[in-house]
Homo-oligomer: A and B are copies of this chain.
Amino acid sequence: MLVEKKIARKKQIEQQATALFHQKGYAASSMRDLAGLLGIEAASIYSHVKSKEEILQRICFRMAKEFFESLEAIEQEAYNAVEKLEKAIVAHVEVITKDPSASAVFFSEWRHLSEPHLSEFLEMRERYEDKFRQYVREGMQDEVFETVDERFTVLTLLSSINYIPGWFNPDGKLQPDEIGHKIARLFIKGLEKRISN
């Protein structure tokens, strides 16, 4: 089918663009660079996508969707606050390591989105972070966590995770779920009340 071929080509464009944007940054990447990677002329890309920004939008919103879906899977089962936070961290790391390049683009190139996409993006990020703040709040209410500033804590937590694409090596000794559990352990231990003090 022609339609299937078109979709496959579009996916290919998105993949090469992801690698390119990750390496050079969105603004420094040209449609001619992208065309070179695909082995076609720059003008030909426009029969598959409307604009350079459309490609960025697709990458950013696809990742946003994946992050949300992985959280929803956790929320359907009822855990306690610590378990929820731990599973959310592991899931978040899992999404990142499944596509480190797309994640890097997602985390650092979103500011090149134009309105109204930029606002939509920021709203989604806010909602996502709020889930994490809820887990921290629950942990505090359950008197398992110390009293902390939830906003600050979640910002610190997610920042430390979101940098993973910068150093993650799929062939390295640390496996995705190991990374997730290590970070979860470090933070949860840092947040937990001590039995004796």
Of the candidates B24, B161, B167, B186, the one whose C-beta lies within 8 Å of that of A187 is B186
Q: A25-B25, A187-B190, A196-B196 are in contact. Are A163 and B159 (CB under 8 A)?
A: yes
Q: Are A156 and B152 in contact (CB under 8 A)?
A: no
Q: Are B112 and A28 in contact (CB under 8 A)?
A: yes
> Cβ of A27: which chain B residues have Cβ within 8 Å of it?
24-25, 27-28
Q: Closest B residue to A163 by CB, please name it.
A: B159
Is A191 part of the binding interface, using a Cβ–Cβ cutoff of 8 Å? yes
Is A111 part of the binding interface, using a Cβ–Cβ cutoff of 8 Å? yes
Copy number in the complex reads 2
> Cβ of A194: which chain B residues have Cβ within 8 Å of it?
194
Is A73 part of the binding interface, using a Cβ–Cβ cutoff of 8 Å? no
Interface size class of A (residues with CB under 8 A): 35 or more
Of the candidates B25, B153, B159, B174, the one whose C-beta lies within 8 Å of that of A162 is B159
Q: Are A174 and B160 in contact (CB under 8 A)?
A: no
Interface pairs (19), CB distance under 8 Å:
A25-B25, A27-B27, A27-B28, A108-B108, A149-B182, A156-B183, A156-B186, A157-B160, A159-B163, A159-B166, A160-B160, A163-B163, A186-B187, A186-B190, A186-B191, A189-B189, A194-B194, A195-B196, A196-B196
Listed in ascending order, the chain A residues whose CB lies under 8 Å from chain B are: 24-25, 27-28, 108, 111-112, 148-149, 152-153, 155-157, 159-164, 166-167, 174, 179, 182-183, 185-191, 194-196
